[in-house]
Amino acid sequence: MHILQLSEKIAPRPDIQIPAGDYLAEDMNGAQMLLMADGGSMTPVKPETLAEREFDPSQDWNGKRILVIRTGGFGDLVLMTPVLREIKRRWPECKICFSCFPNYRSVLENLPFVDELVSYPVPLLEAYQYDAWVPMENIIEKNDAAKKTHMTDLFATRFNIAPAEIKDKKPAYVVTEREKIWAEEAYPRIKGVQRLAVQFNAQSECRTYPGQRMSSVIEHFHKKGWEIMVMGAPGELKMEEGERMWNLTAHKTTFRQSCAVVASADCLLGPDSALVHVGGALDIPTVALYGPFPSELRVAYSPSIHPLEGSGHCAPCFHHVRRGLRFPATGPCVAKNFCTVLDSIPVKKVIDRVTLTAKKIFD
């Protein structure tokens, strides 16, 4: 952890503005922000200060404030929820305060075990008001253990909690009654018609099922009479709408609105992505498509998710997009401009898995 001193306001992205000032920041994130600034410095937090605020599960945390720091994204935060819930179970009177970029905080809203949502980076004067600091930087991206350990279990170890001691590892997400009413009014169900929600793209191209193949799956179920709800980032897809075919990206639905639509669906299909994990949290029958990462490291604790994995000599590559590198520098995906492992999953296999996954609902 570092003390980041920004002499000028910076904007990591258009919707995030960080005023000049002193902040508590993680190492790599702080360095990136410093590069964006016209001036400033970054000083390591003293080891004794870090030691004073280390989370020790042998202590009593009732009545104390715990600052958890993870900038995003949506899926990472969803998979951290079982650990936060466990902490609240052990110390019901503690205050769990979560720091992340504002564009990701909505995924943690309405959870009974998260008491406060804090913007990232944390103003230094505010940071010292917390009794524990738990930074999560590089626990997944630069950790060899992430190649064999479920993400939720890795988050638990950062709290010095043995994964086997967590009572419930299923992720959590809450759709409010108001959001359910909104989804029902905005996208009313057609009586007697099955509804399939589809996330077309993952946030990273290396985790996205090739578009032509996904379009073929959508076309199949639409012709079978299903209602199709295609979702993703606002404005992401240029797809015509029609009877029983909705392109929610053209409607510019928010993340929480998309999740409310997922809650109304009979089945969800998507790549390794946040909506897949929300589907698992909501017990929606879900088919998840995996290539760069083994599915068991992400969905093993979500019984409603039924994964499909591609095959190939380069799998799993565990590729995280960094510095604009969309695919591993070596391997077949760079030349083809898509993940060849995901491309190895036949359309028919996806169709069959969706059909079987949803069968118990439709029967």
The reported pLDDT for the residue numbered 124 is 93
Residue 292's pLDDT band, with cuts at 50, 70 and 90, is: confident
pTM of the model: 0.92
Residue/partner pairs of 213-221 with CB below 8 Å, 24 or more apart? 213/343, 213/345, 213/347, 213/350, 216/347, 217/269, 217/347, 217/350, 217/351, 217/354, 220/347, 220/351, 221/194, 221/196, 221/351, 221/354
Q: How many CA atoms lie within 13 A of 151 on its CB side?
A: 25
Residue 164 tokens, joined: 């086997």
The reported pLDDT for the residue numbered 328 is 83
pLDDT averaged over every residue in the chain: 92
Examine the pLDDT at 237 and tell me if it is beyond 50: yes
The reported pLDDT for the residue numbered 219 is 96
Examine the pLDDT at 351 and tell me if it is beyond 90: yes
**3-class DSSP state of 347:** helix
Mean pLDDT value across residues 56-71: 96
Mean pLDDT value across residues 191-203: 93
Examine the pLDDT at 321 and tell me if it is beyond 80: no
**3-class DSSP state of 102:** helix
341 bridge partner residues? none
Task: Look at the chain and count its residues.
Answer: 363
pLDDT in tens, 325-348: 888 887 788 878 888 989 899 999
pLDDT in tens, 81-114: 999 999 999 999 999 999 999 999 999 999 999 9
pLDDT in tens, 23-53: 999 888 888 888 888 788 889 999 999 999 9
Contact 268, 286 (CB under 8 A): yes
Residue 323's pLDDT band, with cuts at 50, 70 and 90, is: low
The reported pLDDT for the residue numbered 236 is 87
Examine the pLDDT at 285 and tell me if it is beyond 80: yes
Examine the pLDDT at 302 and tell me if it is beyond 60: yes
Examine the pLDDT at 363 and tell me if it is beyond 50: no
Instruction: Please report which helix (H) or strand (E) contains residue 247, including its range.
Output: strand 245-247
Q: Is the model more confident about 360 or about 42?
A: 42
pLDDT in tens, 5-27: 988 888 887 888 889 899 999 88
pLDDT in tens, 119-160: 999 999 999 999 999 999 888 877 889 899 999 999 999 999
The reported pLDDT for the residue numbered 324 is 67
Q: Which domains does the chain have, with CATH numbers?
A: 2-165 (3.40.50), 182-362 (3.40.50.2000)
Distance, CA of 358 to CA of 319 (rounded, Å): 31
